[in-house]
Amino acid sequence: MLKELLAHKNIILASGSPRRQQFFKDMDLSYSIRLKEIEEIYPDGLQGAEITNYLAELKANAFEKELDTNDLLITSDTIVWLNESALGKPTDAEDALAMLQKLSNKTHEVITSVCIKSIAKTEVFHCSTKVTFGTLSDEAIRYYLDQYQPFDKAGSYGIQDWIGLIGISKIEGSYTNVVGLPTELLYKKLLSYV
- pLDDT for position 2: 80
Active-site residues, by number, are: 77
Residue 115's SS3 state is strand
**Could you give the CA distance from residue 57 to residue 113 in angstroms, rounded to a whole number?**
9
**Could you give the CA distance from residue 91 to residue 69 in angstroms, rounded to a whole number?**
39
**Could you give the CA distance from residue 42 to residue 52 in angstroms, rounded to a whole number?**
9
CATH architecture of 2-191: Alpha-Beta Complex (3.90)
DSSP tag of 25:
H
For the whole model, what pTM was predicted?
Answer: 0.94
* Per-domain boundaries in the chain: 2-191
Catalogue the long-range contacts made by 33-42 (C-beta closer than 8 Å, 24 or more residues apart): 34/63, 34/73, 36/62, 36/63, 38/62, 40/77, 40/88
> pLDDT of 131-148, one tens digit each?
999 999 999 999 999 999
Rounded mean pLDDT of 154-180? 97
Q: Who contacts 143 (Cβ-Cβ below 8 Å, separation ≥6)?
A: none
